[in-house]
Structure 1
Amino acid sequence: MDERDVVVADSLEGDSEFLRELLAHTSEGMLTIDAESVVVAANPAIERILGYDPEELLGSSKLTIIPERLQDAHLAGINQYVETGEKHIDWTGVELPAQHKDGHEVPVSVSLQEHEYEGRRLFTGIFTDITERKRRERELRERNEDLEEFASVLSHDLRNPLSVAQAQVSLAREFGDEEYFDSVEDALARIDSLVDDLLAQAREGRAVETESCSLQSVAEDAWDGVVTADASVVLPSRTWQVEADASRLRQALENLVRNSIEHSGEDATVTVGVLEDESGFFVADDGPGFPTDVLRRGAPGPEEGHYGLHVVERVADAHGWTVRFTNAADGGARVEFRDVSLSRA
């Protein structure tokens, strides 16, 4: 007996109806084609996976269930095998997209077997729908990416209040003035707030809960949360209210201030203002600006040493704002936030 024969009890030997029932009730789809890629057999599970009644497929090309962009490769592969015996994919199991009757693609795992019946060369594929597995893999991948980003943002953004605390402790030791300890306390509170915010983002996603807050006040808090040395800040002359998550907005502004001082020098001037059409606000500095090649590639990212600007992008996305990295007409980097709900207080 060939090791691939179906083994049945003696009482069922030769019972073709039993074999039909066996194939009809398997959970995997089965599709058999001939050497010309014409479908000669299909079982009922194919309908559950790909939407086609088996009889609809009989006599049709196997291309019926293959996305158009992959059809040439499939035909070339089967023709190559028929002519040379050389396989272009792993027949023991390969993951491929299949075309559902309604037009969408279904991820499937397919194992193939060649066999002969009444002198005809046939190929049977066993189809397993792996949609759920792919969904779980995608969720796991996204969760891992979120955890990696959480760790990166945490390590990056904690440096702002930590630097402030360290600087204030040094001043307190030198001058013995207790007011420096107030600044240390504020920095530690900011660390606590950042940890809570980032944990919430990791657990609940990136959505934000907004409230009306003062752009000037948040900008001042952000300025106090960074070691600014001899740098100076210019704020809007009017009081503006912005609909935002105040803590996340402060996180973005802290990163922009820190970025300006790191790239423009300790005596930089940072300006926070409202766009002329009042559709949003901007943060600009008087430094050298973003390199042209960086702007040509789009928003500066971690690979250019601008991890803080990546954080800024994520904060803007969470609010539904549009963020644009550019250079001011008179020089210096400029970051604009548009589609922002602003109002005059």
Structure 2
Amino acid sequence: MTNETSVSNFILLGFPTLRRWRLSLFILILVIYILTVAENSFIIIIVRVSQQLQTPMYFFLSNLSFLEIWYTTAVIPKMLETFLTTRTTICLHCCLVQSFFHFFLGITEFLILTAMSFDRYIAICKPLHYTTIMTRKLCSLLALGSWSLGFVVIFTQTVLLLKLPFCAGNIIDHYYCDIGPILKLACSDTNLVEFLGLLGTVTIIPSSFLLTVVSYIYIISTILRIPSSKGRQKAFSTCASHLTVVTLFYGAVLFMYSKPTAHSSFSLNKVVSVLNTVVTPLLNPFIYTIRNKEVKAALKKAITK
């Protein structure tokens, strides 16, 4: 028999070394969150109302924007609380729900980005067959498959987390309920949960990354064979935004979760994770629309109406 105390609440440390700037950081993150929700909502609305944006690329983009709204909403509100209070608590089940949605939406984003790279591959490498391959039915299946697979991968791990007893303290050295810091507080064997997390990581992330890389190898080789420089520039501009987003997202995630374990240090990961949970969702709408003539034309037409 061991003397175990059941934990029902966790304390999120947030960024204790930045306490002196907590008010400034609160205002900054709040503004970023409001802008992120507004920008991604704008993309969803403009794609919905504009006839000229009823294409597979913008269908996947609106899926990505919808995902980004909830991805940030799952994390940032509690993050803002860590700047306002000296002791930010979150109930055990609330913590696991937050962790579930964070990773469910994160995995889904990998898959949506992979579907978008496939769309760009067909558009550039097989333009004459684009309309017959990228049908509404196929786009819907790719989107539904991305959401469903993301849910299934994380749901199993979350169910196992619910069964773990927590008695090794209740302080999470993070601004949200990351799986790694949660596992450090468990007082029973976490090998199965860690194995499932590692299995999901090494199957979803590398496979989606590999498919994206292969797509872009074909895309770039096709673009280089275009005789005119104007044609090459036009072809590359159709996938430059997606390539930029993929680089930002995969770079940060591969750094943080390539070796998930309950016994690693999370100091640097905590800082890098801000890139994915705060910065990237803010930048994505800008990256996809700032040089996009179709979106600008659709917005101008909508305003005129």
How does the TM-score come out when normalised to structure 2?
Answer: 0.29
Structure with larger RCO (C-alpha < 8 A, sep 6+): 2
Higher helix share: 2
Greater C-alpha Rg: 1
